[in-house]
Amino acid sequence: MGIHPDGAWQQEQLAQIYLATDGRLSFVGDWHVHPAGGFGMSRRDRRTMAATVDEPDSRLAVALMGLLAQEDEHYRLGMWTLGDRRWPFGLPNAVRLPTTIWTPTAGEAFWVRLGIA
């Protein structure tokens, strides 16, 4: 079980939503999990956000990246966005937006490593 991205299907759904709402609803970013822990944005994460903003068709000034990560016996859920770019070299900084932390109940603990499920 798990999530298996289907890029073509996602793009089609996004296009339909965009057209059906006359552009009022649009893609602003993506989300993923860090099951091995760590709430930081990796180089790949920052590269993905930068590529989203740099794509002219996205028409985005900023990109968002949702993240769910394990921290000890808790989960942390929050959003990141891009900060200043280190032009012309290097990746942009990632800026952490407000997060929430919770201890999962047995029904929420989907990462076996926690040993709660």
Minimum CB separation from Zn ion for residue 43, in Å? 9
10 Å CB burial of residue 112 (0-12, 13-18, 19+) is: exposed
- Report the residue number whose CB is nearest to Zn ion: 45
Minimum CB separation from Zn ion for residue 59, in Å? 24
Nearer to Zn ion, 18 or 48 (CB): 48
Q: Is the Cβ–Cβ distance between 104 and 76 less than 8 Å?
A: no
CA–CA separation, 51 and 40 (whole Å): 18
Minimum CB separation from Zn ion for residue 45, in Å? 4
Identity of residue 8: A
Nearer to Zn ion, 100 or 105 (CB): 100
Nearer to Zn ion, 13 or 42 (CB): 42
Minimum CB separation from Zn ion for residue 32, in Å? 5
- The residues binding Zn ion (CB under 5 A) are 42, 45
Nearer to Zn ion, 20 or 51 (CB): 51
The pair of structure tokens assigned to 84 is: 């200043």
